[in-house]
Structure 1
Amino acid sequence: MSLQVTGLPLVLASASPRRLELLARIGVVPQAIRPADLDETPLPAELPHKLAERLCALKASAMASPEALVLAADTVVGVGRRILGKPADAAEARAFLTMLSGRRHRVHTGVALAVPGQKLRTRLVTSVVAFQRLTTAQIEAYLDGTEWQGKAGGYAIQGSAEAWVRFMSGSWSNIVGLPLFETAQLLRGVGWLRP
């Protein structure tokens, strides 16, 4: 199994520059980037962690190839049962940040690896983040920039929003968008990445 897999190219089924940067930190450079264009709308009553699991598996399956390994991920921010996706505009980002102000939330990332001829491998990682109580001025100053755009929950922990984090439990790279430990374990488990 390992000998067949080691020579295969790795395809990243994501357009996220953050995931590409995170992979580079562990020496992984995908040979191709092919984002999966799927409907990411939550199902009725779908929980945040279930959405992350479902979407990563769908993306990996949609882009699966007999000639490559396909790595896919999806990050979902949840406040209780509520899903905070990527805000459509500044008004929605403002609503998200107001909701996150002074409270804990969970960041779920599902990671899936499609290997030719094998069962799809998946992992789900959850981290807990608590923001300080944010002032209106802090939120408005943040929204004046672009960090919130295209980010689940309307913030980027790897940017200036990190200064708001009063508590964090779990994987920092997971909150950015790709849990590196679990991703490396998936790639090592099939023999693609050396121990």
Structure 2
Amino acid sequence: MKKRIIYYLLVLMTVMSCKVDTSSKSVLLKIDLEPSSASNAKGTAIFTELNKIVSLDVKMQGLKPGTHGIHIHEKADCSATDASSAGGHWNPTFKPHGKWGSISCHKGDIGNLIANEDGNAMLSVDTAEWCIGCGDSTKDILGKSLIIHQDADDYVSQPSGNAGARIACSGIIR
């Protein structure tokens, strides 16, 4: 009996000495992109936040083969048939449109994804420039939308990269 009590005390002391890291909380958000502008484009996007890094993984189908712009827009509203209700590119820092990762670009300027001959495309991005539900208006992507465009983003034309019609849209909401 004495040995058993000592054993339980040792186990309890070991458990109590372990530190739990609560800073590595993971947040996961999956959205479905639906066709707009009479397209057949649809897909899914998964946003994951871990240790203050947001990862975005997009899988699309029904695209025309080639390059398509992908951006985060101002509002989680895809109700208009052409997705114009989503507003312009999300730009909380008031910078000119540009290429992802450059010093001068919108927070929503993700860039381009490339569809293969079957109309399928995938894209993965990691960034510390976004958060999911943190409340920081310059980083929080909740309440915005993710949009796939008909054409490539040229990274130069203002204010949106001349990427053409919005062919798939989803609100970034829980």
TM-score norm. by structure 1 comes to: 0.26
- Is the strand fraction higher in 1 or 2? 2
TM-score norm. by structure 2 comes to: 0.28
Larger radius of gyration: 2
